[in-house]
Amino acid sequence: MGRRRKKVIHVPKKKLPKFFSCPRCGKETVRVDILREESNAAVGCSSCGLQAEFPIKPAQGDVDVYCMFTDKIYGKTRRSVPLKGA
């Protein structure tokens, strides 16, 4: 008698997205272009035309630059709320 073979389950690797959601229009059209030679990154929405450029460090990736972009956009519109009890 032979032994039963174990079932091999392959887990697919998750990939980072190529396009991100726009904080202004909400569509998945924001693209991050990193220029490593110039230590610069350009972020732009192809739908509403929102654009920004950021200086980057060598270890930063697309997601890090996108987070800097959203922090810049949301930082202008949000009001700071004082902490209670402070």
For the stretch 11-59, pLDDT in tens is 999 988 899 999 899 899 999 999 989 999 999 999 998 999 999 998 9
Q: pLDDT grade, residue 79 (50/70/90)?
A: low
Is 85 within the bounds of a domain? Answer: no
The pLDDT of residue 62 is above 50: yes
Q: What's the predicted TM-score (pTM) here?
A: 0.71
CATH number assigned to the domain comprising residue 72: 2.20.25.190
Is 28 within the bounds of a domain? Answer: yes
- Considering only CA atoms, which of 21, 22, 18, 47 is closest in space to residue 34? 18
Give the tokens for residue 37: 């030679």
| pLDDT at residue number 63 | 93
| pLDDT at residue number 83 | 47
State the total domains in the chain: 1
Is 38 within the bounds of a domain? Answer: yes
Spatial contact of 8 and 22, defined as CB atoms under 8 Å apart: no
The DSSP H or E segment spanning 77 is: helix 62-77
| pLDDT at residue number 86 | 44
